[in-house]
Amino acid sequence: MSQTLVKNLQHIVFSTKNNFKMIRGEWAPDLYSYIGAVMKSMNCRLISAGGVGDHIHLLASLDKTISISELVMKIKAFSSGWVHSKIPGGKKFAWQRGYASFSVSESNINAVKRYIENQPEHHRQIAFQEELKLLLDKHHLEYDERYLWN
């Protein structure tokens, strides 16, 4: 094959530092738009974004030249800077160090989008910590719970 063809869809999840509920509903859509612009600058595409006060979910299509870790590192760095400069009281905002990422098949895009868009309703019934453990278990990812929350 003379060209490289890649479709890399990822469901990415990460939390605020110490799981503090710092993301506010009134500015969350602007944060998601900013993250979409950061991704576009890296030839990636934000398909869906959502979350609640202490974490976000992103459904993303990654360019063939970008690793998941590079994408997440830049999203966190640039979006933290955006919150610090644009949101009153945002100087203390920070993301946790780690993240979780799950591959998504083309046939599952709509289900993952609905899941992400339904985060506020979803979290009326379940805390982020429980949700993350369920996602990790569903995807058969081994983890050490001591390191999930810092």
Kindly report, residue by residue over 76-114, the tens digit of the pLDDT. 999 999 999 999 989 999 999 999 999 999 999 999 999
Task: State how many domains the chain has.
Answer: 1
Examine residue 138 and state whether it is found in any structural domain, yes or no. Answer: yes
Residues recorded for the chain? 150
Q: What are phi and psi of 14, to 5 degrees?
A: -155, 160
Angstrom distance (rounded) from CA 132 to CA 109: 19
**pLDDT tens digits, one per residue of 105-150:** 999 999 999 999 999 888 999 999 999 999 999 999 999 888 877 6
pTM: 0.93
> For position 109, which CATH number holds?
3.30.70.1290
Examine residue 1 and state whether it is found in any structural domain, yes or no. Answer: no
Examine residue 3 and state whether it is found in any structural domain, yes or no. Answer: no
Contact predicate 141/100, CB 8 Å: yes
Examine residue 64 and state whether it is found in any structural domain, yes or no. Answer: yes
Nearest to 133 by CA among 146, 120, 124, 121: 146
Mean pLDDT of 6-25: 94
Mean pLDDT of 6-22: 94
Angstrom distance (rounded) from CA 150 to CA 148: 6
Range(s) of the domain holding residue 134: 8-147
